[in-house]
Structure 1
Amino acid sequence: MAKTDQPIIIKKVKKAAHGHHGGAWKIAYADFVTAMMAFFLLMWLINMTTKEQKIGLAEYFAPASVSPTTSGAGGILMGTSLDKAGNKSSTPRDAAMGTSGKEEGARRSSTGRASDLELSRTAEGAQSQHSAAASIRQALQTMPEFAEISRNIIIEQTKEGLNVSLADQDGRSMFPEGSTRPHERTRRVLEALAPTLRRLPNRLSVTGHTAAARPGSVHAVNSWSLTAGRAVAVREILSGAGFPSDRFTAVAGRADTEPFFPDNPYLSPNRRVTITLINEAPPLPPGGLR
């Protein structure tokens, strides 16, 4: 019996390639990286600003209120209602309260303006100190020997103004021991500072300080005379370098009564001469607040 020839069928399955996913994930990732960079930049800026600058920024972006009060008073009826006869009901007591309210509102408004002015002056003073400190640091960096004496110069902002202190460090002093005449490097620092100080609007005070004598030892010279003499020497050098003499407000010696490190009055940096750029409020306009 003959076999029937049957065709052999071979099935070939073609596998389709995966579809293209596109580049949407790349855009999303780029947006994420940009947002993170902006966030860290914002955090850095917030960390670098002072409290006064933050207050000034908050005041700048605070929306102005449409009305100073949320009550219905202040309009035509002054917050009272009409009686049955259609007339505005008002008693002498209501009138008195209305007058008192107006006076209280005026007083609060005046107080608010004074507070805003004080806040604005505080912010302006802080910004002025920042600018002055930057100018002084820039002037010092032009000196070839600045890197050598940078540890002896302390710049700090205080309520009274910007302090620039020429302080002793272990192994390096700004004045010879017991002398009121500075080292040559100290003189060069002061002469380099004088042009910058002259361009700034601040008046100056100069104060000399010294460290306390350790128990069992005594100063070779009188501390009061020594610190006062050093302050006078600094004033003379600044004046000789072009700073106007009439812009000095005080030159004094404090001996060891105001140590830079109160917890350890024997440390070398307590021996210093401090130049203070006085932070003075601008004069009020004629007529005071309006």
Structure 2
Amino acid sequence: MADEGLRPIIIKRIKKSSGHHGGAWKIAYADFVTAMMAFFLLMWLLGSTSKGDLEGIADYFATPLKVAMAGGTGSGDASSVIQGGGKDLTRIEGQQQQGEDPKTRKRFDLKEAEAELARAEARRLRALKERIETAIANIPSLQQYKNQLLIDITTEGLRIQIVDEQNRPMFALSRAELQPYTKVILHEIAKTLNDIPNKVSLSGHTDATPYASGERSYSNWELSSDRANASRRELIAGGLQEDKILRVVGLSSAVLFDTGNPYNPINRRISIIVMNKKTEESITRENQTVDVQNEEAVQQAVGQDAATPGEADVSPPR
């Protein structure tokens, strides 16, 4: 009994942990999620990349230095990994392309565009011709002068000619002074010319009758020039914008209306031309120089000038 009092007393303490395996499971789970994201990303790329691009990627990883040095079909050739350009990445069929397809890219023909502009300009000039003819028919003050107003379309544009009659001249005899009815005609014409962007050319003409004082001091050249300039001033007074007039010339009797009778009063006239674009460019290009060393440029310039007829091609309207 005495030995039992000397036995040691053993106390067992149980340690309780705060969780299963501590925080190590979080690291493992994060690695798993990362691996799954990489896997699904790989699956998406494989599913949305074309067969040719896949072959290019495979070739690159097989021989990366060869592709890098020599080039070729590879992943860099693809502009987008999404086929069809649609919004639903899980669909391939039935998608609408939202980008520009190089195969169906619009191509513009410069010659066809120029031809279309010429046709549109011709339509404007025909409409202006009809408008002037309607004004002549409807305005009482112009009806009596309809035989002196000749309107036609030439290679230079719309031509409006105001011609003399035997007993009804436009100007005072041998002078550049306009008759009152000529001013009325010019004012009515001026009202219609501001509606289109085309420039205007004026030329004065006389018949072949020599000037009374001879050809030395004052001749038909000066007279035709003065009459053309007097017509210009009257058009501006009638409302024509001054910057629309591009050329004013006097041609004396060099360009006859009636070539069979140089003394016919109809040869005395004022010619107003609403120029087309080609004629306008030929005038504005007169001061440009051409390098004679460039044979091709010289031939082109000469060809363009020859293709644009001048005032000498005027012929009586039918």
Q: Which residue of 2 aligns with 1:103?
A: none
Cα separation, 1, equivalents of 2:221 and 2:121: 32
How far apart are residue 177 of structure 1 and its match? 1.6
Cα separation, 1, equivalents of 2:163 and 2:224: 12
How far apart are residue 114 of structure 1 and its match? 3.9
Amino acid at match of 1:211: D
Does residue 257 (structure 1) correspond to residue 249 (structure 2)? The answer is no
For 1:231-270, what aligned pairs fall within 5 Å after superposition? 231-270=228-267
For 1:1-290, what aligned pairs fall within 5 Å after superposition? 113-213=109-209, 218-220=210-212, 222-280=219-277
Are the aligned partners of 2:257 and 2:267 in contact in 1 as well (CA < 8 Å)?
yes
Q: Secondary structure at the match of 1:231?
A: helix
Cα separation, 2, equivalents of 1:267 and 1:116: 44
Q: Secondary structure at the match of 1:165?
A: strand
Are the aligned partners of 1:166 and 1:273 in contact in 2 as well (CA < 8 Å)?
yes
Q: Secondary structure at the match of 1:199?
A: coil
Cα separation, 2, equivalents of 1:119 and 1:279: 13
TM-score by length of 2: 0.49
The CA deviation string for residues 113-134 of structure 1, in whole angstroms up to 9 with x for no partner, is 3443343233223212211101
Cα separation, 1, equivalents of 2:138 and 2:234: 19
Q: Secondary structure at the match of 2:151?
A: strand
Amino acid at match of 1:208: G
Are the aligned partners of 1:204 and 1:278 in contact in 2 as well (CA < 8 Å)?
yes
Q: Structure 1: where are the runs of 5+ without partners?
A: 1-109, 284-290
The CA deviation string for residues 43-79 of structure 1, in whole angstroms up to 9 with x for no partner, is xxxxxxxxxxxxxxxxxxxxxxxxxxxxxxxxxxxxx
Amino acid at match of 2:224: T
Are the aligned partners of 2:136 and 2:143 in contact in 1 as well (CA < 8 Å)?
no
Q: Secondary structure at the match of 1:200?
A: coil
Are the aligned partners of 2:211 and 2:219 in contact in 1 as well (CA < 8 Å)?
yes
Q: Structure 2: where are the runs of 5+ without partners?
A: 1-106, 213-217, 282-318
How far apart are residue 238 of structure 1 and its match? 1.0
How far apart are residue 263 of structure 1 and its match? 3.1
Pick which of 274-283 and 144-153 moved more: 274-283
How far apart are residue 229 of structure 1 and its match? 0.7
TM-score by length of 1: 0.54
Cα separation, 2, equivalents of 1:256 and 1:176: 18
How far apart are residue 138 of structure 1 and its match? 2.3
Q: Which residue of 2 aligns with 1:51?
A: none
Larger Rg: 2
- Quote the sequence identity (%): 28
**Cα RMSD for the two superposed structures:** 2.4
Are the aligned partners of 1:140 and 1:189 in contact in 2 as well (CA < 8 Å)?
no
Amino acid at match of 1:235: R
Instruction: Point out which structure has higher relative CO (alpha carbons under 8 A, 6+ apart).
Output: 1
How far apart are residue 212 of structure 1 and its match? 1.1
Amino acid at match of 1:143: I
Are the aligned partners of 1:139 and 1:193 in contact in 2 as well (CA < 8 Å)?
no
How far apart are residue 194 of structure 1 and its match? 1.4
Q: Secondary structure at the match of 2:202?
A: strand
User: Are the structure 2 counterparts of residues 126 and 263 from structure 1 closer, same or farther at C-alpha, using a change threshold of 3 Å?
Assistant: farther
- Runs of 4 or more, structure 1, over 6 Å off, are none
Cα separation, 2, equivalents of 1:238 and 1:113: 40
Cα separation, 1, equivalents of 2:263 and 2:121: 33
Amino acid at match of 1:161: G
Q: Secondary structure at the match of 2:140?
A: coil
How far apart are residue 178 of structure 1 and its match? 0.5
